[in-house]
Structure 1
Amino acid sequence: MTPVDLSTTVLHAVRRAVREDALRAPVPARVRVERTRPGGRGEYASAVALQLAGPAGLGAREVAEILRDRLAGAPGVAGVEITGPGFLNFTLDASAGAAAHRDLVHRVREQGERYGHGDALDGHRLLLVHAREVRAAVTADAVRRLLTAQGAAVRLSCEGEPDADWTRLGVSARAYGKPQPEAPGAGAGGAPREADGKPSTQAPAVSLDSTDPRAHGGPPTPVRTVPAGETAAALLARLGPDAARWGLLRPAGHDRAALGPGLIAQTEANALFRVRYAHARARAAVRGAAALGITVAGPGEDIDATGATALLALLDEHPAVLAAAARHRAPDRLARHLEAVAGAFFDFHDAAPPLPVGDEKPSAAHRTRTAVAEAAGTVLAGGLSLLGVSAPEHL
């Protein structure tokens, strides 16, 4: 059982308690579970009972007892204890955890770089209108990629004539001009005009730098400009397309983009380098295994999770991260997630090297570790692609 699975299991218990009228409180959108701190009980803990106590008009321990009764015997949960003022502490079923890890790694390897893509926005047609400014253009393009990965049909439009150099940053606004005022009785959102003055689409127009209430998932956050006078041509000359896109997308929309030379430095301090280097190391592990005659573990084989628990948890969270990044129009969420995956991959690689070291002989453990490395590399490559950043196999 992964942390996401456990969170869902606890949420089901809350819903059941409310449905049975044992608990009168609003059901939260999600339940947070965390690794138990040193000295704590079990493997994971949740403060959901404390969160629900006030609205339910009950003591937190009483709420915890209600939930514990409904968690008893849940698949993948070996035991539930209540500690402190009402924390729920979970011990997981090791066999169920092994099955979850096996299924997760197989699912990533089977779906490839499309792992995490979904159909939540099937049937949605959106037109993203952005300012004539390089960061707004790149952000709009990344949001388009994220929304498309969730099934939406998306087009971009610029409020003014697009900068020709944006194409070298992977941006292509197929229309430009502010949306025209709606005709009486027309649906929500006007349509922008092509260069010949004809409507470009009938999709609802949603601006990326306004607070349009029609935006799916709520109004987008305004995007601050880059330093005055910074153009696409200047960024490309100094940083190249990959580092320029990462530098524009990594900060949250309300933060100023840092576009210094550190973005192209091949050092630990450069987050982009760490992410791409982790991808290259993962791919190298798979190539090295093949050279040694080590076959990657197949779908029916258990996964040796030694040193990989944190990494597997992040891989499991990837679909939810993509959905949230699309919903909130926040590519920075995906960038931060990729940084976390890269860090967890390096920790895994150091704790349980996928390839034999020294005189060590290839074993079944190396087969499963190679599968984990391959899954990590796949998630990193897919995430970078959605940000419009390349993922080279060699660095």
Structure 2
Amino acid sequence: MTRDPADLSRTVLHAVRRAVDEDALRVPVPARVRVERTRPGGSGDYACAVALQLAGPAALPALEVAAILRERVAAEPGVGRVEITGPGFLSFTLDAPAAGDRAVLDAVREQGLAYGHGDALREEILQFHHAREVRAAVTAHAVRRLVTAQGARVRVSCEEASDPDWARLGVTVDAHGTPPVPLTGIRPVPAGVTAGELLERFGPDAARWGLLRPAGHDRAALGPELLVQGEANPLFRVRYAHARARALTRGAALLGFTAGHAAPYDGAARPLLDLIADHPGVLLAGARHRAPDRVARQLEAVAHAFFDFHDSCPPLPAGDEKPSAAHRARLALAEAAGTVLAGGLSLLGIRAPEHL
């Protein structure tokens, strides 16, 4: 994050959305949040009155709203300290611009495919139950992976014996019967469409994407577009972005350089880095709301931002150009994007090939 008030405003607004997604606040998300330079004698670099603005709609004291938002803003890269002052103002002290960016990329590199996993649901012991229907089975399996990645313990059951072809879609069921916590709101595929038919038409990866990408209450996308090898197919675009990121690492090795850091990441790099920083929050929201479609949409956004970044700021030098610090920094961001894409696809039970 830069030291631009508009950038900080987006960060605060993102924290509000996270609080709403996580059911910590029940308010309409405002269209914008105003952030101002702290007045002489005040605390921090910037201040914001959003907690006072939301207190009424939330039916909570402004100080309580401020505490909910403080926790989420303080976790954002580039924010050094968040204080609550007066009746509920938030006061921000920012890190040097490069520090937060470096922390995000370091976290991705250190955690790998587990970037964004956590223990927020560690106290939860869950049992999901679903109908003997392929979309419900695949959704339950993806939700299991999401909540397990956030620390929950999960058991999944089906009302009847499983379809043997579910195993080829990666689905596992722990028990059969009718326990009391069904997964609801999942629109089934048309009558007569079986796992075996979907596997024959699409293979396991495209079939899972077609079942999981739409929200549970929407119709599953099971048309021939799932197999299109081009930009019109979101799954292809996501997997191609991952494969391209891995190819950049191989190309850099041939040129004799590796990824490194430089500051700041601005321009076309900024949206991609912000999406990577957002990834842990998206995974947690997907787990809390039993919504693997949120993860799929996040991966699409990362892929789109990756290609915009790649085209505007090539990570590999061209022609006789020598590798520079800028190329090493761009490569670090590209590699982080590839890791996020692979990790997200893995949670959805979909492979991320290094070559397409």
Q: TM-score, normalised by structure 1?
A: 0.70
CA contact (8 A) 2:78 2:101 kept: no
Q: 1:52 aligns with which of 51, 54, 59?
A: 54
CA contact (8 A) 1:304 1:369 kept: no
CA contact (8 A) 1:146 1:322 kept: yes
- Per the TM alignment, residue 125 of structure 1 is displaced from its structure 2 partner at its CA by 1.8
* Range moving further from structure 2, 27-36 or 154-163: 27-36
* Alignment correspondent of 1:374: 335
Q: Flag structure 2 segments of 5+ consecutive residues without an equivalent.
A: 17-23, 38-45, 59-72, 80-88
2:197 is the counterpart of 1:234:
yes
Q: Percent identity?
A: 65
- Per the TM alignment, residue 173 of structure 1 is displaced from its structure 2 partner at its CA by 0.7
Give the structure with higher Rg (CA).
Answer: 1
C-alpha distance in 1 between matches for 2:328 and 2:207: 37
- Per the TM alignment, residue 46 of structure 1 is displaced from its structure 2 partner at its CA by 8.6
Query: Structure 1 residue runs of 4+, over 4 Å off?
Result: 2-5, 8-11, 27-36, 44-47, 53-56, 90-93
C-alpha distance in 1 between matches for 2:26 and 2:228: 41
* Alignment correspondent of 1:336: 297
Cα 1:163–1:286, aligned 2, differ >3 Å: closer, same or farther?
Answer: same
- Per the TM alignment, residue 304 of structure 1 is displaced from its structure 2 partner at its CA by 4.8
- Per the TM alignment, residue 228 of structure 1 is displaced from its structure 2 partner at its CA by 1.6
Q: 1:292 aligns with which of 251, 255, 274?
A: 255
- Per the TM alignment, residue 53 of structure 1 is displaced from its structure 2 partner at its CA by 8.2
| CA deviation map 1:98-121 (0-9, x unaligned) | 211111111111110100001011
Q: 1:7 aligns with which of 6, 12, 18?
A: 12
CA contact (8 A) 1:283 1:374 kept: yes
Which AA in structure 2 matches 1:52?
A: L
| CA deviation map 1:193-221 (0-9, x unaligned) | xxxxxxxxxxxx52112xxxxxxxxxxxx
RMSD between aligned residues: 3.6
SS of the residue 1:127 aligns to: strand
SS of the residue 2:181 aligns to: strand
Cα 1:228–1:259, aligned 2, differ >3 Å: closer, same or farther?
Answer: same
Structure showing the higher helix proportion among its residues: 2
Q: Flag structure 1 segments of 5+ consecutive residues without an equivalent.
A: 12-26, 57-70, 78-87, 180-204, 210-221
* Alignment correspondent of 1:302: 262
SS of the residue 2:258 aligns to: coil
C-alpha distance in 1 between matches for 2:78 and 2:298: 26
Cα 1:346–1:336, aligned 2, differ >3 Å: closer, same or farther?
Answer: same
2:210 is the counterpart of 1:247:
yes
| CA deviation map 1:66-86 (0-9, x unaligned) | xxxxx9xxx968xxxxxxxxx
* Alignment correspondent of 2:138: 138
